[in-house]
Amino acid sequence: MQGGVLRFLCGALLLTQEPALAAGIDRQKWVLRRESGTNYACKCYPGDTCWPDSGQWQKLNATVGGNLQVDIPPGAPCYNTFKGPLGDVQTYNADECATVTANWTSEQFQVEQPAAALWTYFTNDTCRPTTNPTDNCTLGYYPVLVIMAKTVAHIQAGINFARENNLRLIIRNTGHDFLGRSVGWGALVINTHSFQDIKFTDTWQGASGYNGSAVTVGAGVQAFQVLKQANALKPPKIMVTGECATVGVAGGLVQGGGHGPLTNLYGFLADTALEFKVITADGKLTTANAKTKADLFWALRGGGPAAFAVIVEATYKTFDDQPSAGVSFDIDASVTTNATLFWEAVRVFHGHSARMVDDHGLYVYWELGTAGQNLHVHPIVGVGMTADQLAAALQPLYDDLAALGVRPAVTTRAFPTFYDLYEAMFESEVAGNSALTGGWTVARADVAANSTGIVDAFRTVLGAGSFIIGHMWSAGYGLPRAEWNASAVNPRFRDAVSKVITVVPVAGNAPLAEKAAAQDKLTNVVDAALRAAAPNGCAYVNEADPYQPNWQNAFWGTNYPALLKIRQKYDPDGLFYAVSTPGTENWTQIETDTRLCRKL
C-alpha cells in the first residue's frame, strides 16, 4: 500500500432492519439502509463490517503485482494533509503543486492520473489546486483505491475481488466522461490506461466476413495515438474516432456508440467494430464477435458504457485517408450586434443542417453562446473534397446569410489528408470544468417541420445560463442500410442531422439546494425545450442528461428490451454500474449521492 501509513477502517455501521425487509439478502455482504421511506441493500464501503480488512487488501495487492494504491486526488500536493477515509497522508510538495496548478486544465494531464475525472462536478469539486496549503483536502467523491492494471490477470483479480466483496467497481481508461462514470464515492477503480498496444493489418481474418484493413487497440489507446500511427502507414489510413483527440477508443466511446468527424462516411465507431476481447463479470476473458457471443458483441457496440464487460482490446475497420477541406467562421459582435439579426442567422445556419449532411456528407462542429452572442463554426469538414468543392457546397448557406446582411469572414483550407485537417483545424478542449451536461439530437424531419421552433429552443437554452456545443452528421449517410441494426445504438440516430450538448455550469461543492436547482434546470428547462422542439430526436448516452424522463427510450429506443436481457445474462448481480444504463432501474446513489444501493 502507498507509503504503508494508511489504516483500513472496518468499524460496524449496519442499519437495523426488520428481518422481513432483509429476506434473501446476505447480511455479511450487503449493507442495509433506509432513506425517504425506501429500503435499500448497498455495496460495501469503508467503515462497514463487510469492507475487506487489511490482510485481504494486502493479498489483492500481491496478486496484482503491487499495483494497488490508495487514491489521492491530483490536487493533494498543494495541501499539507490529505484527509482520506483510510487515514491521513502528508502530501504537500511545492514543485508538484506548481505542476498540478499549471496543468489542471490539460485533458492529457488528467487522463494520466490514476482516477481523476476530466470534469470535476462529480468529484464534489474536492481538493482542487490552492495557494493555501492549510486548506482542507478530502477524498470527496473520488474512489478509494485504484488498481493500475498492467495485465489481463490484474483486471481479472480486481473484478473477482470486487464481486466477492460486493464493492462498487469503476473501470477507467482515460476518465474522458461528462457524467461522472469514472469516479464514485467509496469505489475500487481498475485503471486500464497502460494497455497501449496498436496493431494494424491489411486484411482482417475474423468472424464477420470482412477482409479489409483493420486495427486492434488496447483499452488505454487514445484517438491521437492511433490516428498518428495510421497516418504513417503507406498509404495512410483513418478510422472513426471522437472529435476530441484525447478520448480513448476502446472503452466508453464505442460502448456509447462513438460519433466523430467520419460518422457521415462510416457511421458510429460501434458500426466499424469487428471484435472485442473482454472480461465479463465472472472474471473470465472471452472474445465477442459476430459469431462468438454475438449478443454480447452487439450490446458492446453502443449498448451502454461500463454495462456489460471490461474491454481489454478492440478491433476496428480502417479506411484509406483522403484529401480533405475545412471551413471556419464566426458570427459574433464583429459581424452584427443586432440580437434579432443574430438569431435569424442562427436559424439560417441550422436550417441548412439536413442539406449539408444529406446532400454533401459534410461534418459540422459548432458552438453557440460559449462567449456571449457568438456562433462559432470550427470546422465544417468535407472529406474527399477540394477547397473549391467545399465552397460550392456551402454557397447556398453563404447566400442565405448574405440575404440577411450577415457576411462572416470565412476561412477555407485544403489538406492532403483528413488527418492533416484533424490536426490543424480541431481546437483543443480543456479539463477542470465543473458543470452538468445534457443534450439532444434533431432529426431531419424536425428541421423540415420546425426550424424556427428549434432555434427558439436554443434561445431558451442560452437564456437559462447554459450554452451549446453542436455537431452535424448523419450516422446513416455512408453506412449501408443493411448494417444499421448491426450495432445497438438507438435506431433513431440514423435520422439525426444535428446533435447538441447542453452545459449548465455549477460547482461540484455547491450547496445541495443549488445543485438540485441546476439539475432541475437542465432536465426541465434546458433539455425540455429541445425535446419539445425536436420530438423525433433522441439522446446520446455519453453526452446527455442521465436523469431525463424515459431515459431508456431516449438512449436506446426499441433496442432497450434486448439490451436489458443481455445485461441480465452477463451481469445478473450488477457488478458493473454506470448511471442510466441497461439494468440500472433499481439502483441509485443515496445519502447525498454517495452509497450505491439497490432498492428492495
Mean pLDDT of 277-296: 98
H/E stretch holding 82: strand 81-84
126/53 Cα distance (integer angstroms): 27
CB burial class (10 A; 0-12, 13-18, 19+) of residue 433?
Answer: middle
Q: What is the pLDDT of residue 26?
A: 82
Residue 21 has pLDDT above 60, yes or no: no
**Average pLDDT over the chain, rounded to whole?**
94
Q: What is the per-residue pLDDT across 580-597, written as a single tens digit (0 to 9) for each?
A: 999 999 999 999 999 999
Stated pTM of the model: 0.95
Q: What is the per-residue pLDDT across 493-519, written as a single tens digit (0 to 9) for each?
A: 999 999 999 999 999 999 999 999 999
143/185 Cα distance (integer angstroms): 5
In the chain, what is the greatest distance between 2 CA atoms, to the nearest angstrom? Answer: 76
Q: What is the per-residue pLDDT across 217-237, written as a single tens digit (0 to 9) for each?
A: 999 999 999 999 999 999 999
Judge if the upstream peptide bond of residue 235 is cis by omega within 30 degrees of 0: yes
Q: What is the pLDDT of residue 372?
A: 86
How does DSSP assign 346-369, residue by residue? HHHHHHTHHIIIIIH--EEEEEES
Can you list the positions of beta strands (E) in 370-466? 375-383, 411-415, 435-443
Residue ranges, CATH 3.40.462.20, the chain: 324-550
CATH class of 2-193+586-599: alpha beta
264/208 Cα distance (integer angstroms): 22
Query: Which cell numbers hold the place of 37?
Result: 421511506
413/411 Cα distance (integer angstroms): 7
pLDDT band at 27 (very low <50, low <70, confident <90, very high): confident
Total Cβ atoms within 10 A of residue 142: 29
Residue ranges, CATH 3.30.43.10, the chain: 2-193+586-599
Mean pLDDT of 272-278: 98
pLDDT band at 20 (very low <50, low <70, confident <90, very high): very low
Q: What is the per-residue pLDDT across 468-496, written as a single tens digit (0 to 9) for each?
A: 999 999 999 999 999 999 999 999 999 99
Q: Which CATH architecture has domain 198-320?
A: 2-Layer Sandwich (3.30)
Cα 351 to Cα 133, 398, 443, distances in angstroms = 53, 12, 12
Q: What is the pLDDT of residue 25?
A: 78
pLDDT band at 23 (very low <50, low <70, confident <90, very high): low
pLDDT band at 28 (very low <50, low <70, confident <90, very high): confident
171/284 Cα distance (integer angstroms): 16
324-550: CATH topology: Vanillyl-alcohol Oxidase; Chain A, domain 3 (3.40.462)
Residue 378 has pLDDT above 50, yes or no: yes
Residue ranges, CATH 3.30.465.10, the chain: 198-320
Query: Which cell numbers hold the place of 257?
Result: 456508440
Q: What is the pLDDT of residue 371?
A: 84
